[in-house]
Structure 1
Amino acid sequence: MATVVDCPTCGSKVVWNETSKFRPFCSERCKQIDLGAWAEEKYTIPAVNLPEDPEAKDI
Structure 2
Amino acid sequence: MKTMSETATKIVPCPHCRGDSVFAPSNRWRPFCSARCREMDLGAWASESFRVEAAAPTEDSDLPH
TM-score by length of 1: 0.73
Q: What do you get for the CA RMSD once the two structures are aligned? A: 1.6
1:2-40 Cα offsets, whole Å, 9 max, x none, are: 221111111111111110110111111110001111111
Matched residues, number: 54
d(CA) in 2 for partners of 1:35 and 1:28? Answer: 11
Query: Is 2:14 aligned against 1:7?
Result: yes
Which consecutive aligned stretches of 4+ in structure 1 deviate over 6 angstroms post-superposition?
A: none
Note the residue ranges of structure 2 that are not aligned, 5 or more in a row. 1-7
What percent of counterpart residues are identical? 41
Q: 2:53 aligns with which of 17, 31, 46?
A: 46
Give the structure with the higher percent helix: 2
Q: Which runs of 5+ in 1 are unaligned?
A: 55-59
Alpha-carbon distance in structure 1 between the residues aligned to 2:58 and 2:40: 36
- Please state how far the C-alpha of 1:46 moved relative to its aligned partner: 1.6
- Larger strand percent: 1
